[in-house]
Structure 1
Amino acid sequence: MAIRSIRKRCCLAQDRDLICHVKTGLVLLVTLSLLFLVSCIYVLSFNPVRHPRTWFKPVNQTHSYNMVTEGLSAKKYVWNFFIAPPIIQTTTTALKNHISVNHHVAHPSNYHFLIDEPNKCSQLDPFLVFMVPVAPHQLEARDAIRSTWGNESSVQGKAVLTLFLVGLSGGAEAQQQLEEESRQHRDLLQSDFVDSYFNLTIKTMVIMDWLATRCPQATYAMKVDSDTFINLENLMSLLLSPNTPRENYITGYLMWDQNVIRNNKSKYYVSVELYPEPKYPTYVLGAGYVFSNDLPQKIVEASKDMKPFNIEDAYVGTCLKRLGIKPSRSPDPSKFRMYMKDSKTHDLSKVITTIARSPKQIIEFWQSVKSLK
């Protein structure tokens, strides 16, 4: 009996040990599972969002902004830069960090306005519209234009309008500042593409589509970089000349026989995949070119089958070539200038455009021209 009792107690002790081991194992398993779950949540929560440095924003990329309008174009056409396949991935060393660059299907209708002035042209009925692509942070450049040539609403009896186009600002505070600037001046447009040098072609095509869909009543338009000075009197005299066409017309500083840059260390590099020809067709320097306002819709339409590349003025030239339209030589080509040293050593009264080295110099040029009157 004593031996049987001892055996029974031993069995009970073994059972308790086994239960304890099982409980310990279960607790350990649950603890490890919780730790693994917490670590996964931590990694997913704090892993930074990486914005790919793409030349052209993916169509399905979304943003947390409230859209003002449904889209840039009311037309239901599809603009495929890449026919087969619609998305092509190539590798370029144009960027210093040698990253892959994805070239996506891109068309103005893929982008939406965050800030818009859709009724400006119907209210003002402008003869000439200036469209100024500018970076969101370049407030000084916008204010310099607003205080000089962009402040004019009528030239030689013709209504003129100046608008600025920016892309995404890159932060909530910067976005709030842009919206406040828009409320103050009512001359700002913003579209939801990444604002960068490699997206200048998108910026230009958004401008073209805005003109085609928001301002078809204008007779002429001009794409003007934010560092360009405009002599409005000389420009208007050119446009009002009886010899200046009002259709299929574009002029400025003509770029002839320009080689495509294949040096992948240059910011002007364009790969053979994007543009196979060794030379560009004749195009107009992007610092400032003026065109009849029938062209924007035609350029947008022509670009359906054109691969985009980052040299925006040359890209517009390729679209014009597809349309069979050649840029016109100005009656006095010297009126469209590159750089001028200062207002004292050059006669600004004879130019239409020239590139300034700073917002301050735009103001100096303007003051010099005004003093001659």
Structure 2
Amino acid sequence: MARCSCRWRNVLICLCTPCILLALLCTYTTVMLCYDMINTRPEVSHFIAQGIYMNNSLVPLPRTFWDLRPNRGGVWNQLQVVIDRFYNPILNPQRTTRESKRAPNPLLRDSFTGTTVSENRLGGVKNLSKRMREFVKYMQRKEYPITIEPDAACGAGTEERKEPPLLLLAIKTKGVNFENRQAIRQSWGQVGWVSGQRRNSSGGLQGGDARRKGGGYIRRVFLLGREDYEELGVNMSELLQLESIRYGDILQWDFKDTFFNLTLKDVLFWDWFSRLCGKTRFVFKGDDDVFLNTPAMVDYLQDQLGKPGTRAAMRSFMVGDVIAAATPDRRSISKYFIPDMFYKGIYPTYAGGGGVVYSGLLAKRLNDVSKRVHLFPIDDVYVGMCMRRLGAFPTHHPAFLTFDFPKGEENEPCAYHEILVVHRRKPSQVITLWGKLKDLCQCWNVTLRDTDTKIKKKLGLLL
């Protein structure tokens, strides 16, 4: 009997062991495939499936962005889902890639009638503020004529160059802010050849090689809409025309220049850039009250071009002060107020619009995808929405100070040499800071502000 039991046990072991091993192998393969799918971010621009993707800061993107249940969302959410369904290759497999890139503007208008409950929802807009009502009225329009345009192909800048421009400075401004524009022209916004901050970075190179290593060509353009001269009390059009003749850096469109229309400046600029600035490597998009350490920015961008895999990296290159998992401001007294009936959900990851730098290649991709994303009142958030649609993520850099220096750091000797951008500076401050940036030669070769340095300074570990 014992021999019989032993024999059957051996038979069972021989039969079951391969099955168990096969089951373990299948389980391992399934787990690895799922892990691969979760951690692979799609690079396609036509459609991104719903779900959570992780950025470099390990902050999960919100489930509520482009909600699966649009009827429970706000006006914007419901309008956007009509566009998303139109370009969804699963729902519309017969639509070609070429057709999807055209994204005719009438489709944005049609999305209003395509939203089943839009009439009831839009009726409630009458109870909102005047600027929100105006925004909803024109939010489907993205085409406006240019009233003033730079003479040069891609903004003001020297034509006597032997290589493509490294950087285009695209500054959002208003007609009345002449003093801000003049301070930028005389300081960090100077065009032509700009040397880097690292004066000893050429490493023994001579002549043209040393110049390419330690600098780059800069161009400049100011982005404006049309101000209401009845509200302003003065007609700025003639003054802007004279300013354009003198400096050649004014780009103005025929739309009302309001806070909620700042998004239009991004969309229209991307279109203008894609047509006329094909060879420009990078764009710095900022406000007219920022201070930019242009020499340090030149060094930083040259370093990015020197890294391996540059072409692939430039497809999604955007760097700034990144804000993740932000919620809409529901305070009615705030200029950033977004009512619940207009938009529901958490904002996508985005870079603060005070100052951000991105590649020229990405600018062209943003131009394409913006034709399939409804305008949003907050320009920074809208850029984040377009980035999300591209499956791209902005990179955070501590040298972009959207909310100014931490307490006490601004007074350090080389503070402004360690940053790339700082927000909220008056024209007189910009001129003064630029002079100090040039004079303090002992700070020319300092490294940029980073997270490790910031923590060490707080702990008193650096001399």
Answer yes or no: same fold by TM over 0.5: yes
- Map of 2:253 onto structure 1: 191
- Map of 2:279 onto structure 1: 217
Change (3 A) 1:270 1:307: farther
- Map of 1:371 onto structure 2: 439
- String of CA shifts for 1:268-327, please: whole Å, max 9, x gaps: 1123454321x1111000001000111222222222332322110111001100110011
Structure number with higher helix proportion: 2
Structure 1: distance between partners of 2:126 and 2:275: 35
Structure 1: distance between partners of 2:127 and 2:356: 31
- Map of 1:356 onto structure 2: 424
Corresponding residue SS for 1:299: helix
- The one of 269, 281, 305 equivalent to 2:372 is 305
Corresponding residue SS for 1:181: helix
- TM-fit CA distance, 1:162: 1.2
Structure 2: distance between partners of 1:76 and 1:322: 16
- TM-fit CA distance, 1:253: 0.7
- The one of 396, 402, 406 equivalent to 1:329 is 396
- The one of 119, 123, 137 equivalent to 1:103 is 137
- The one of 216, 230, 238 equivalent to 1:158 is 216
Structure 1 residues 260-269 or 306-315, which shifts more?
Answer: 260-269
Corresponding residue SS for 1:103: helix
- TM-fit CA distance, 1:246: 2.5
Conserved 8 A contact 1:136-1:178: yes
Q: Which runs of 5+ in 1 are unaligned?
A: 1-74
Change (3 A) 1:337 1:348: farther
- TM-fit CA distance, 1:234: 1.4
Conserved 8 A contact 2:190-2:218: no
Q: How many residues align?
A: 295
How is 1:67-216 mapped onto 2 (pairs within 5 angstroms)?
77-79=103-105, 80-81=107-108, 83-85=110-112, 89=122, 91=125, 95=129, 102-108=136-142, 110-117=143-150, 119-121=152-154, 123=159, 125-155=164-194, 156-171=214-229, 173-216=235-278
- TM-fit CA distance, 1:203: 1.4
Say whether residues 1:229 and 2:291 are aligned partners. yes
- The one of 330, 336, 340 equivalent to 1:268 is 336
Letter in 1 for 2:146: F
- String of CA shifts for 1:230-253, please: whole Å, max 9, x gaps: 001211121111337322110111
- Map of 1:296 onto structure 2: 363
- TM-fit CA distance, 1:77: 4.7
Structure 1: distance between partners of 2:289 and 2:360: 23
Q: CA RMSD in A?
A: 2.8
Structure 1: distance between partners of 2:410 and 2:187: 15
- String of CA shifts for 1:114-157, please: whole Å, max 9, x gaps: 11126433946412101001011110000010110111422233
- TM-fit CA distance, 1:82: 5.2
Structure 2: distance between partners of 1:303 and 1:160: 26
Change (3 A) 1:94 1:247: same
Letter in 1 for 2:357: V
Structure 2: distance between partners of 1:224 and 1:103: 27
Letter in 1 for 2:261: N
Corresponding residue SS for 1:223: strand
Structure 2: distance between partners of 1:86 and 1:153: 50
Structure 1: distance between partners of 2:284 and 2:402: 15
Change (3 A) 1:295 1:201: same
How is 1:42-81 mapped onto 2 (pairs within 5 angstroms)?
77-79=103-105, 80-81=107-108
Change (3 A) 1:93 1:100: farther
- TM-fit CA distance, 1:76: 6.3
Letter in 1 for 2:403: M
Structure number with higher strand proportion: 1
Corresponding residue SS for 2:332: coil
Structure 2: distance between partners of 1:307 and 1:337: 26
Change (3 A) 1:99 1:286: closer
- Map of 2:66 onto structure 1: none
Corresponding residue SS for 2:217: strand
- String of CA shifts for 1:156-190, please: whole Å, max 9, x gaps: 33111111011114348421010000000011111
Change (3 A) 1:98 1:192: closer
Conserved 8 A contact 1:93-1:265: no
Corresponding residue SS for 2:261: helix
Change (3 A) 1:97 1:316: closer
Conserved 8 A contact 1:119-1:214: no
Corresponding residue SS for 1:271: coil
Change (3 A) 1:325 1:99: closer
Conserved 8 A contact 1:92-1:98: no
Corresponding residue SS for 1:151: coil
- Map of 2:314 onto structure 1: 246
TM-score w.r.t. the length of structure 2 is 0.58
Corresponding residue SS for 1:202: helix
- TM-fit CA distance, 1:98: 8.7
Structure 1: distance between partners of 2:190 and 2:132: 43
Q: Which runs of 5+ in 2 are unaligned?
A: 1-100, 195-213, 442-463
Change (3 A) 1:229 1:301: same
- String of CA shifts for 1:56-96, please: whole Å, max 9, x gaps: xxxxxxxxxxxxxxxxxxx9652344542269745166637
Conserved 8 A contact 1:81-1:308: no
